[in-house]
Every structure is written in structure tokens, then in C-alpha cells.
Amino acid sequence: MSLWLSLLFFGLPAFALVVGFHWVMPTLIAGGMAPFYAYFVGAGIPLAGMLMASLVAYCWEGNPLTWAALKVRFRLYRMDGKSWLWVVGILVLSLLGFGLASQVGSGLITTGIMPLPASLPAFLDPQSTVSPLLALDEAFGGLKGNWMALAAFGVLLFFNIIGEEFWWRGYILPRQELAFGKWTWVVHGVLWACFHVFKWWDIIALLPVTLALAFMVCRLKNTTPGIVVHFIFNGLGALGILAGVLGLGN
């Protein structure tokens, strides 16, 4: 997969998320929908579309629609001890890198170099003065006893992780390796970070994460460790939602 084709395959989902995040979500919120559910629709549809696109592209290559064949093409192999060590190491590195790079992003926001959207919901606003638990409570229209909130987060997390991993690392990455060789993880990691242009204030913070994960998957030739790291990294938000559902911190 050439650079131009890579830009197209990364750019189309990025554009869909920009529309979903900056047009669909605010429109739904203005219509009275709770912010998280508006985000669920605005981001969830493009992410689900990526999952469908990965399967369609897989079939267009002439591959049989069987789990056994899909596992081989998307390199969904079992985890061994070495893979788990990589997962732990990359997860720690990603969290540290994200934390340090976030400080750079925060500085750019504070100085006005990187402005934020005017009507950003508190749970998505890195400069919000509202406590994280209260921001989540407002995002769901009330969390205490609201188990549906946790279920909704789980559904969005599924499409987020599986949609991205099947499309990026399952379908695209092996094709990029044929074009970019040992530098594939750099090209892939940078493009994946830029895919998050719908939340441009997070790109700098995410770059260490996207590069580290891409390097691991390229090195192991296995998509599964990437799925595990991505799931843990993005799934940490479930802890705050669970605390709100249980009424902790109120």
C-alpha cells in the first residue's frame, strides 16, 4: 500500500469522524440528547463503518469468509509469554508517553496556540474545571444505578477497538509492510495519530502511543497484542463510569 493510498485509507475514516464529532454530536446535544450518547452516535457510526470496511476489503481480496482464513489474513494469533511481556512493556511505555506528551499539548492549549471547540462537553474537555466523575455524570444524564451507561460504553469500546484494529492493523498494516519495510511502524503510527484530527488537541499526546503500538505489532507480526493494549488503554474510562453507577464519590 503506497503512501498516497495509505493517506486515502486513513483520511476517509478521519473525515467521517470529524463530521460525526463536530456536526452530528453537537446537533444531537442541541436537540436534548445526553452528551455521551450524542458522542456514541457521532463517533460510533464511523467506527462501526471501519469494522464493516475491513471485512468488505478482506472479501474483495478474494479471501474466504471464514474465521480460520480471517485470522491468518488479519494476523489474529494467540498470545504467548513473549507477547504478554510486550503488552506490559508497551502499555507502560504508552501511558508514560501519553502523560508526558499531554503536558506539551496542555501548554499549547493554555497559550492559545491550539484552541479548543467552543461547545465541547465537559467529559471531553481537557481544560474542564468540573471533576471527572461529575463530568461523566453529566455526560450520561445521571450515572447512579444507570447500568445502561456502562453497557453503552462497552458497545462503543467494542467498535472503537475492533473497528480500528481490524482496519488499521488487520487489513492495512500488512499491506504497508510490503511498501515501507522496516519503517512501516513510523508511517503507520504517524498516520494513526493524525487520524485523531477530530480531537486535534490529543494528537501530540497520542503519538507516543500510536508509534509504540505500531512498532509492537510490526515486530511480532501479530495483531492480537495490539488489540489487548488498545483495549486496556481506551477501556480505563470504564472505571470512572462504574464508580458513578455504584454511587461512589457522591
- Which tens digit of pLDDT belongs to each residue from 32-64? 999 999 999 999 999 999 999 999 999 999 999
Mean predicted confidence (pLDDT) in 165-194:
97
Judged by average pLDDT, the poorest of 82-91, 98-107, 173-182, 212-221 is 98-107
- Cell numbers that stand for 221 in this block: 507480526
pLDDT at position 127 is: 87
pLDDT at 26 over 90: yes
Buried b (16+ CB within 10 A) or exposed e, 67-93: eeebeeebbbeeeeeebeebbeebbeb
Judged by average pLDDT, the poorest of 13-27, 62-76, 128-142 is 128-142
Is residue 150 packed enough to be buried (19+ CB in 10 Å), middle (13-18) or exposed (0-12)? middle
Question: In the 8-state DSSP scheme, what is residue 65?
Answer: S
CB 154 within 8 A of CB 238: yes
pLDDT at position 250 is: 59
Tell me how far apart the alpha carbons of residues 55 and 51 are, in angstroms, rounded to a whole number: 7
What is the rounded average pLDDT for all residues in the chain?
94
CA dihedral over 76, 77, 81, 86, signed as positive or negative = negative
Phi then psi dihedrals of residue 52, to 5 deg:
-65, -40
- Greater confidence (69 vs 237) lies with 69
Tell me how far apart the alpha carbons of residues 121 and 139 are, in angstroms, rounded to a whole number: 7
pLDDT at position 172 is: 97
Q: Kindly give, in sequence order, each residue whose CB lies less than 8 Å from that of residue 243, ignoring residues fewer than 6 positions away.
A: 133, 249
**CA torsion, points 142, 147, 148, 151, in degrees to nearest 10?**
130
CA dihedral over 12, 14, 17, 22, signed as positive or negative = negative
